[in-house]
Each structure stands twice: as structure tokens, then as C-alpha cells.
Amino acid sequence: MKIAVLKETAPGERRVAATPETVKKFVALGAELAVERDAGASAAFADQGYADAGATIGERASVVQGADIVLGVQGPDVASLTGAKPGAWIVAGLNPFGDRARVDAYASAGFEALAMEFMPRITRAQSMDILSSQSNLAGYKAVLDAAAEYGRAFPMMMTAAGTVSAAKCFVMGVGVAGLQAIATARRLGAQVSATDVRSATKEQILSLGAKPIFVENVAGIEGEGSGGYATEMSPEYQKAQAELVSGHLAKQDIVITTALIPGRPAPRLISDAQLATMRPGSVVVDLAVEQGGNVEGAVAGEVVERHGVKIVGHRNVPSRLPADASALFSRNLFNFLSAFWDKDQGRPVLDAEIGDAIRLTKDGKVVNERLAG
């Protein structure tokens, strides 16, 4: 069983799909590991570390040659996989809705593409969930990015020259990223409030010492869909939410938006008119900017200013913490493959519950129900 680990080629991608730690664990299972030269360099993992863990280091052609499984952070280009075994598994974050053409290309090439972001939200798959592990770091980094752009201090400071007021931070969307953003802003000393369409998150917000901001007594507050993800809300709820948020936004210094709906454009949470009510020097960090953005005027990959408010739209925020993001991502991949490792066959054998959920292509066809039509 040969497992290939490739150097990421997407612009700005600094993560790597395996670390010396996980290479050593795969070797212990009996797998042969081949790592592309400098695959981990941008995440501070040297080739020698991989070699010491039992991997062979080489150029991409030799690494891919005869591979049964190819690991990636983002899906590798099909053209670079020449030489991999027929039916080889491509295990990575494959962005199935946003890059359907690549999925079709995997099918045409006869590969079995496994999209790690389709991992079901069930108890036994928690340790395999790349969305959770990467969102956790994104929520943390979003607050640091806001602090770097904000021209004032976060905590209240009492000095001989007078008192510095604490920053007011508002987190919109209380999933994994939002919860970590709340915790990080609180650690930095900000006054934190948060909102979400799912009423179940109110207790989580309170448990972190933040103030919940919720629409009450309006149909449509229970916005939790399958797998704990948010769903779109009723028009009545959206109107009431916009009115409540508008009044609250005008008093905030920092806003972090994290709202995503799988397979859909990110919901618009903040309009240009609402931005205009915020104080000059305020900062908004849009973690959904690559899916269309929660904030009107946000630009992917840029920090822009509107009405005196900075809108931070960094792409691929987990990759801004490449060493830790790679460590967690690679453990997700190892936890997934090792959980299904059949010692007799010397390879992983998937079950229906998880296999059918994440498998995009097989035997030359796109087979995932979520991509039907």
C-alpha cells in the first residue's frame, strides 16, 4: 500500500497533508510513504524529518508512480497524477461544489475521490473532521487579524494618563470558528457578544462569558439543519434579525462573521448601509469571503476600507497558521484511514455510512448524491 504526499500547488496554500508524526504512524500500519520534495517546507516540516519517520523523498512523478492513495490538503490537478494506480484514492479537501470540473476529471481518470469536507457530523467521525479542525484555527486567527488592523487596544487599561476602554467585539455565526473567536477575543480582554440563527447556541455563548444577541418570538429561529449546520431562515426572521443587528453593530469596534451554508453562497449578514453606521476605525473580518462573503464590499484576498471601516477578507485563513493547521489536518487524515485499516488486506476498507458520504467518484462516474444533477 503506497501512500503519496504531494506538495500543494494552489496559490497561497502553505499547509501539507502529512507530517513526520503521521508518516511514522502510517509506516507502523505497514504502508509505504512517498513524500514530494519540500512538501512540508512552508509549514516548517523539513524533508529530513519525513525521511527519519520512514518516508522516501522524491520528485512528484516518482512519488505518484504506483500510488494507491494520494493525500492532499486541496485536490491535486489530475494531470499531475499520471502514474498513480487505476482506482487510486484521492483523499483531500476537494471543494466539490466550487470545483465540479475537477471532480468530473477525477471520475474520467478512474480515480476514487474522497472529499474530507463531506465527512458526516457523527460522534465516531469527529476526529476525522477537517472542517472543524481548520475552522477552530480560523476563528482564532480572525481575532488576531482584527487586532492587527485595529488601531486601539483590546483590553481595558487603567493608567496614570487615563483609562483605555475595552474593545467591543461581536461574533456573527457561532459554529466552531465562531466559538473559538469568542474565546480568543475574551482572552484578549474584549467585551464580547455573539449571535446565531440556531437557538441551541445561546448556552454555548453564555458558557464562554459572552452576551447572546438573539431575535425572540419570531418564527424561524430554529435554524439548525442536518449535521448541525445552519439553514436559511424565514423572511420574517431575516427582517427581525437585520433590525436587531443594525442597532447592535453601530456600537461595535470588532465584528467577526463566520456564517456558511454548505453548497450555497454565504448569507449576507452586513450591508453597506449597516457598515456606514459603524465607528471609523472599526474592523470587520469576513471568514466567509471565499464563498461570496457575509459582508457587502468584502474582497477575497484583500483588506479594504468602506466608510472608515476596515473589511478584512484574507483567503484560506487556516493556511496563515500552517504548522498547526497541517498538524491537525494530517491527523484528521490519519484518523480516517487508520480507523478503516484492514490488517489482513493491508489497506483501508470503508463502510457504507462514512464511505458513501465522502465518496465523490468511483468506476469512472460521479456517485455522490449531493452532486447529483
Inter-CA distances, 266 with 170, 241, 260, 263, 286, Å: 18, 16, 5, 9, 10
Inter-CA distances, 95 with 2, 255, 263, 348, Å: 25, 27, 9, 23
Catalytic residue among 14, 50, 68, 129: 129
Inter-CA distances, 126 with 94, 143, 238, Å: 19, 25, 31
106 carries an active-site annotation: no
129 carries an active-site annotation: yes
80 carries an active-site annotation: no
- DSSP characters over 141-170: HHHHHHHHH-SS-SS-EEETTEEEPPPEEE
Catalytic residue among 65, 152, 229, 315: 229
- 226: three-class secondary structure by DSSP: helix
* Cross-strand partners of 1: none
- 288: three-class secondary structure by DSSP: coil
Catalytic residue among 80, 104, 121, 338: 121
Catalytic residue among 48, 108, 126, 165: 126
Asked if 364 and 103 touch (Cβ cutoff 8 Å), the reply is: no
Residue 345 has which C-alpha cell? Answer: 488486506
Instruction: Answer left, alpha or beta for residue 143, where phi above 0 means left and psi between -120 and 50 means alpha.
Output: alpha
Asked if 4 and 62 touch (Cβ cutoff 8 Å), the reply is: no
319 carries an active-site annotation: no
Q: How far apart are CA 215 and CA 233, in angstroms?
A: 12
Residue 2 has which C-alpha cell? Answer: 503506497
Helix (H) or strand (E) holding 362: strand 361-362
Asked if 321 and 55 touch (Cβ cutoff 8 Å), the reply is: no
- 71: three-class secondary structure by DSSP: strand
121 carries an active-site annotation: yes
Catalytic residue among 42, 74, 132, 204: 132
Q: What amino acid positions are annotated as catalytic residues?
A: 121, 126, 129, 132, 229
